[in-house]
Amino acid sequence: MLLILLSVVFVVLRVAGDPVSAMLGGHAPISEIERIRKQLGLDKPLYIQYLNYLMNLAHFDLGRSMIWGQRPVLDEILEHFPATLELSISAFTFSILLGVFTGVFSARRRNKPADHAIRLYGIITYSIFIPWFGLVLQLIFGVYLGWLPISGRSDPRMAPEIITGLYVLDSILTMNLPSLIDSIRHLILPTVTLGIYLSGIYTRLTRTHMIDILQSDFIRAARARGLPERTIIYKHALKNAFIPILTMMGLQFALLLAGAVLTETTFSWPGMGYFLYERISYRDFTTIQGTIVFIATLIVLISLIVDIIYVYIDPRIRY
Amino acid sequence: MISDLLRIEGLRVYYYTRDGVVMAVDNVDLFMKKGETIGLVGESGSGKSTLGRAILRLVPPPGRIISGKIVFDGLNLTELSEEEMRRIRGKRISMVFQDPMTSLDPLMKIGDHIVETIMAHETLTRKEAEEKAIKLLEQVGIRSERFMDYPHQFSGGMRQRVGIALALALNPDLVIADEPTSSLDVIVQFQILDLMKELKNLYGMGMILITHDISIIPGIADKVALMYAGQLVEFADAKSFFNEPLHPYGKALLESIPNIQHSDQKLKYIPGNPPDLINPPKGCRFSPRCPYATEKCREEEPPTIMVGHHRLVKCFQY
Amino acid sequence: MANLTAPKMITSMLSKISPRRGVEGLFIIVGLAIILTFIFMAIFAPVLAPYDPNKTRVGGLYESPNPKFPMGTDRLGRDILSRIIWGSRTVLIVTFLSMALSSACGVTLGLISGYVGGKFDTALSLFMDSLYAFPGLILAIALAVMLGQGIMPVTVSLTVVYVPIYFRMIRSEVLSMKESLFVEAAKAIGAKGRTLIFKYIFPNVIPSIPIVLSLNAADAVLTLAALSFLGLGLPAHIPDWGFDLRMGYGALTAKIWWPGTFPGLMIVLLTLGFSLFGEGLAEILNPKLSGG
């Protein structure tokens, strides 16, 4: 599977056009174009390029930037990775909590006004354009109310000592309270923006499955045993409804990454997405290719992990 | 009357559906003493399951209890709050369900089902609850090693035993068994019925055995309550009923049980269809299918008449 | 649903949109209203727009919304309202074009691949699945980077991103239909390959397409806007909402909210229009999924 993905990336990025002219803007002298092509190995026949590509990948070599050329792309990506990780975890958690609880709330009040409102919410969130939503939040909370910062990860004076690269975690580990508060403040708006966008699908999924399950026999039997309502909803119904939600979480990962790219760009959050955006504006072909390969690999890895977790959660699969 | 465990008076349970109001239980009276077993018999749609659910106040929407009293050991269940009702469910009145596969949480070990039920009603430590659960399982014939297994690892009959264990976990005064054997093989049916008889003698609880299959009633039920189209048409002790059913419906039911010794005879069945509960027939609801029906039967609803000491029939013949 | 002709199917679909399905009907109506409004805006742009969208300094720089410029002006003094109106043309052309292309490609490939089966099918499915696994935006970025700017390249990028969706859906329907009785019957009367595919299987596959089209259109609007926002979309002389939104970020801290907010709002509204329409349609034609 991974091989296919990587090959697809290769095909897409090679066949679609000449990267060098794309980078140089098509007005550069031919000699210059030729020189760079040679330097990047683009003058060799396509199949040799492909083999080189795969061999390099096997050594985790994602190439070097076409423009600055010194540091390996992989290093540059990894530098930006923790920021994206922090944002992703934060937004993902937020979206699950928001989505699942609104879904449960909605399912319990089926066909009442609150339910319809939440169903509408589920549809709207999908249509939210992240850059716009981020803009609005920045305007309201950053510019007009002045409560929260609108860009970056932290005030440069208050950045914590880096241990994991996750600012919030690092602040806690180094017991740096001002830094913790500052990091969290910077994290809030991007999290909410991305989180709300992602939550819609969980709301709908949870609602649908909860409604189904709440009508099922074992829930009825649980009520007949006099179990408290809260236990019934959360311990039994939700647990059973959770399996398809878990599957969706795995599938949503791709969406999370795409959303992260937009969110990071909107909030100047220095993660992989922002990095990609930067390099796009420079038409730094090799870096872009490297980054996309990295993302593809990440996706496959996460799918694998989700499959493994799946086996743990559902006892029926095990036996 | 004072020693009655359960007294149902004038119970009406209707379902408000898009097609009309389904009068599932229409003005039913029923009494039961401590330790008695009543066989609640009727075809599907007769209202027997709804009646069972109503006792636990678990009638699903769009159904509602419209009127009537359900007095259990002095308490009027129709007037209790939801929380008070919750405390009664599982502890003083419990239910065994028809389909054991779907009435257990597939993600929870069966032992935990019992432990959870115990701990929801009593203040025991987890360990104490587990010990109790293991004993219960053994009582219903499940080895304690299977405590940690999941529902799908059991056969149908075993799962139903778990269901029974769950119903008995807190030593209730009344167990409502809603078609407990209907989804089991014939041989397993007998095993489960035997188990239920045994436990009944051991614990002395009252039981309402709901079924459409009248042949499982003899030997286990003390009284028979026959329902048709949402109404109670006959209520008698089992012996008398089987000796001589009074209501035409009861008569027809008993005649329609195939008898192996007369296997050369044609199968008898009751002609006609069960009535529409949204627009039931005027007068006696059984009249369209009754071989003794008169003009009066079709016009007026028959009263419930007491025959002998403790027998009730809803028919004009008496 | 076997063997109905296309016109019959459309009428049966329409008849299911009865007034009884309150909420879903509302979705469809509102969604359709929004879409039609934008289409109207796009078609009559030359008449509706008060100014030339590209003409700079028709008003002051960063003028706030006022009667002369209801949505204000941007940093080059261009009228935002006119840019919005003309921008709808851009969005709708790209969206409809790419939807048409990707559905045509995807459906055809799905039909053929599903029917033919074998190694060809396996290979093609594998390819499509990999494409599908990619986040749409990332794939679009990759393509757009290589193809450069302009309406056609962007359209192509979007097309490629959505082909797998149609392919997968149609292919699975074809697979399940291949075994069905009416196809057997058709074969028995001598129908072969092409006839089978187009005359028999295809009409039965049609009903599921409109919903996917609508929802994909919503997604396409977002992706297009995202591409422009990231600087990969259309050249500067074509009015484009995503691009304008990007530009609107510049003066944010000075409380100049209008250059970004209005274009962004249009993006959201158009997407919403397609989404509502698609969702409403889906819930009416597949009531089981709604749980309502």
Q: Does C232 touch chain A (CB under 8 A)?
A: yes
Strand-pair category, B63-72 with B4-17: antiparallel
Is B210 part of any domain?
yes
pLDDT in tens, B17-50: 888 888 888 888 888 888 889 999 888 878 888 8
Cβ atoms of C102 and C163 closer than 8 Å: yes
Domain with B187, as residue range(s), is 4-92+172-314
Residues 145-164 of B with CB under 8 A from A: 150, 152-153, 163
Q: Residue B12 falls within a domain, yes or no?
A: yes
Of C147, C226, C246, the CB nearest to A17: C147
Residues 146 through 185 of chain C touching chain A, CB cutoff 8 Å: 146-148
Helix (H) or strand (E) holding B306: strand B304-307
10 Å Cβ neighbour count for C95?
A: 23
8 Å CB contact of A225 and B90? yes
Query: Which chain A residues are within 8 Å of C27, Cβ to Cβ?
Result: 123
pLDDT score of A39 more than 70: no
pLDDT of amino acid B259? 67
- Average pLDDT, integer, range B217-236: 88
- How is chain C split into domains, by residue range? 44-277
Lowest mean pLDDT among A37-41, B120-124, B209-213, C177-181: A37-41
Q: Give the number of domains in chain B.
A: 1
Q: Which CATH number fits domain C44-277: 1.10.357.10, 3.50.50.60, 1.10.3720.10, 3.30.2350.10?
A: 1.10.3720.10
Taking contacts as CB-CB distances below 8 angstroms, the residues of chain A near C259 are none
Query: Which of the pair, C49 or A198, is modelled with greater confidence?
Result: A198
* Residue B254 is assigned to a structural domain of this protein: yes
Indicate if the alpha-carbon torsion angle B197, B199, B202, B203 is positive or negative: negative
Q: What is the pLDDT of residue C99?
A: 92
Judge whether residue A28 has pLDDT over 70: no
Residue with more model confidence, B259 or C1: B259
pLDDT at A94 over 90: yes
Contacts of A110 in chain C (CB under 8 A): 292
The percent of residues above 70 in pLDDT, for chain A, comes to: 76
Least confidently predicted of A11-20, B157-166, C277-286: A11-20
B171 touches chain A (CB under 8 A): no
Q: Tell me the pLDDT tens digit for each residue of A173-188.
A: 777 787 788 888 888 8
Best probe of the A interface among B57, B92, B105, by most A CBs < 10 A, is B105
User: Nearest to residue C53, comparing CAs of C218, C263, C204, C215?
Assistant: C263
| Pairing state between β B206-211 and B37-41 | parallel
* Lowest model confidence (mean pLDDT) among A215-229, A253-267, B251-265, B286-300: B251-265
Tell me whether A318 touches chain B (CB under 8 Å): no
User: Over the stretch A97-143, which tens digit does the pLDDT of each residue have?
Assistant: 998 888 888 888 877 888 888 888 888 887 888 888 888 888 888 88
pTM: 0.76
Task: Classify residue B231: in a domain, yes or no.
Answer: yes
The string of pLDDT tens digits covering residues B54-97 is 998 888 888 888 888 898 888 888 888 888 888 888 888 999 98
DSSP B110-130: HHHHHHHHHHHHS---HHHHH
Q: DSSP letters of B178-217?
A: ESTTTTS-HHHHHHHHHHHHHHHHHH--EEEEEES-GGG-
- Rounded distance, CA A212 to CA C224, Å? 37
Contacting C residues, span 16-45, partner chain A, CB-CB under 8 Å? 23, 27
In a domain, B290, yes or no: yes
Q: Tell me, yes or no, if B90 comes closer than 8 A to chain A by beta carbon.
A: yes
Contacts of A19 in chain C (CB under 8 A): 146
Q: Is A224–B120 a contact, with Cβ atoms under 8 angstroms apart? A: no
Find which of A112, A211, A220, A225 to mutate to test the B interface (most B CBs within 10 Å of its CB). A225
CATH number, residue B49: 3.40.50.300
Low-confidence ranges of chain C (pLDDT < 50): 1-6, 18-20, 288-292
Q: How far is B90 from chain A (nearest CA, A)?
A: 4
Domain presence at residue B244 = yes
